[in-house]
């Protein structure tokens, strides 16, 4: 997910994706969640000739997978407010676009619309969701994936020592910063209901989160570097505590988890 100062979302978005650490975050998020995302695409049957809209793509891995799956007879458009992480596109179109403020891109109606870790940060989530639903063709699928930090708030679920306690305390500070910027930390669990209320049928959902992974360590390190100054300024952590936490990550002594990623999918009723 990438944002710029023209967006109402950027005013609330905590992680500035113009920072160098954003690339590390994208890589880690791809390693952690792309397999689950692609499994859901296969569940809804993405295939040759489909027209797909990837919302808030950030990096290129998801739209590139879709482009390969839909082939030359299909079309994939990947949108974000900042497309700098998609400079080299292969098989898909990259457009600057704010899903909460602008009409859907040309190329629809779409067979598949997908957004991952987007709506939880959008101020007008309901408007963005309506825009996506309206851009589906009859029978088309909407796949939404968002974290639910309130459902499992600990980055170290096994808090057996001072290093794990510090990690969880810094994570509480990170969540407080997110809330201050309008993020809905319980949004993920609402997705099935919201899809039904939007008029979609065949709604299903599941959740996934790793308990420990090398990619979790990369993600946490990059995230801490991005929000370090904000944590200190807000009085939520000291520089010494942050340095100690980063050293613990580098030493490999922490089993770092993520918030549950809840995936929900539903189909626009056929005409």
pLDDT, position 7: 37
pLDDT, position 182: 85
Beta bridge partners of 136: 110
Distance, CA of 231 to CA of 239 (rounded, Å): 9
Q: Which of 21-35, 163-177, 247-261 has the lowest mean pLDDT?
A: 21-35
Residue 3 covered by a domain: no
**Do the beta carbons of residue 15 and residue 26 sit within 8 Å?**
no
Residue 167 covered by a domain: yes
**Do the beta carbons of residue 79 and residue 96 sit within 8 Å?**
yes
Query: What number is the average pLDDT over the span 99-109?
Result: 91
For 52, 78, 223, the CA distances from 34, given in Å and listed in that order, are 16, 16, 19
pLDDT, position 24: 87
Going by C-alpha positions, the residue among 116, 167, 113 that lies closest to residue 137 is: 113
Residue 256 covered by a domain: yes
In the chain, where does DSSP find H-type helix?
8-12, 21-44, 61-70, 125-134, 162-180, 191-197, 214-233, 239-251
pLDDT > 90: percent of the chain: 76
CATH code for the domain in which residue 145 is found:
3.40.50.150
Residue 1 covered by a domain: no
pLDDT digits (tens, 9 = 90+) for 112-163: 999 999 998 888 899 999 999 999 999 999 999 999 999 999 999 999 999 9
Residue 222 covered by a domain: yes
pTM as predicted: 0.90
C-alpha 2 chain-centroid distance: 10
Residue 50 covered by a domain: yes
Task: Name every residue whose Cβ is closer than 8 Å to that of residue 81 and which is 6 or more positions away in sequence.
Answer: 2, 3, 4, 6, 7, 9, 10, 96, 97, 98
Helix, strand, or coil (residue 187): coil
Is the per-residue pLDDT at 268 higher than 80? yes
Query: What number is the average pLDDT over the span 180-208?
Result: 95
Give the dihedral of Cα atoms 53, 79, 8, 20; nearest 10 deg.
140
pLDDT, position 72: 95
The domain in which residue 221 lies consists of 8-267
Query: What number is the average pLDDT over the span 21-28?
Result: 84
Query: What number is the average pLDDT over the span 60-65?
Result: 94
In 58-136, where does DSSP find H-type helix?
61-70, 125-134
The DSSP element (H or E) to which 76 belongs, if any, is strand 75-80
- Which structure tokens are listed for 232? 């200190």
Report residue 257's pLDDT band, with 50, 70 and 90 as the boundaries. very high
pLDDT, position 59: 85
Residue 203 covered by a domain: yes
pLDDT, position 271: 58
Which residue reads 């569940």 in tokens? 43
Peptide bond into 140 cis (omega under 30): no
Residue 2 covered by a domain: no
Report residue 16's pLDDT band, with 50, 70 and 90 as the boundaries. low
- Mean pLDDT, the chain, rounded, equals 90
Is the per-residue pLDDT at 3 higher than 50? no
In 157-213, where does DSSP find H-type helix?
162-180, 191-197
Query: What number is the average pLDDT over the span 94-112?
Result: 92
User: Total domain count for the chain?
Assistant: 1
Is the per-residue pLDDT at 196 higher than 80? yes
């Amino acid at each position: 997910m990438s944002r710029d100062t023209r967006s109402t979302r950027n005013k609330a978005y905590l992680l500035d994706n113009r920072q160098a650490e954003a690339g590390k975050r994208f890589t880690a998020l791809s390693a952690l969640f792309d397999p689950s995302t692609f499994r859901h695409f296969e569940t809804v049957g993405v295939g040759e000739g489909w027209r797909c809209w990837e919302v808030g793509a950030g990096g290129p891995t998801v739209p590139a997978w879709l482009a390969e799956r839909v082939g030359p007879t299909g079309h994939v458009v990947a949108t974000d407010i900042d497309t700098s992480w998609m400079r080299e596109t292969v098989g898909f179109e990259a457009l600057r676009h704010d899903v909460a403020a602008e009409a859907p891109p040309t190329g629809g109606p779409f067979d598949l619309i997908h957004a991952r870790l987007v709506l939880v940060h959008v101020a007008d989530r309901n408007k963005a969701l309506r825009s996506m639903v309206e851009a589906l063709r009859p029978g088309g699928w909407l796949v939404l994936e968002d974290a639910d930090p309130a459902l499992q708030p600990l980055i170290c679920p096994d808090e057996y020592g001072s290093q794990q306690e510090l990690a969880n305390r810094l994570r509480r500070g990170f969540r407080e910063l997110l809330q201050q910027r309008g993020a809905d930390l319980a949004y993920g669990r609402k997705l099935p209901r919201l899809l039904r209320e939007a008029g979609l049928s065949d709604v299903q959902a599941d959740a996934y989160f790793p308990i420990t992974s090398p990619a979790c360590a990369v993600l946490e390190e990059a995230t801490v570097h991005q929000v370090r100054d904000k944590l200190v300024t807000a009085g939520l952590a000291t520089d010494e505590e942050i340095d100690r936490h980063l050293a613990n990550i580098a030493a490999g002594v922490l089993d770092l988890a993520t918030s549950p990623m809840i995936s929900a999918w539903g189909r626009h009723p056929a005409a």
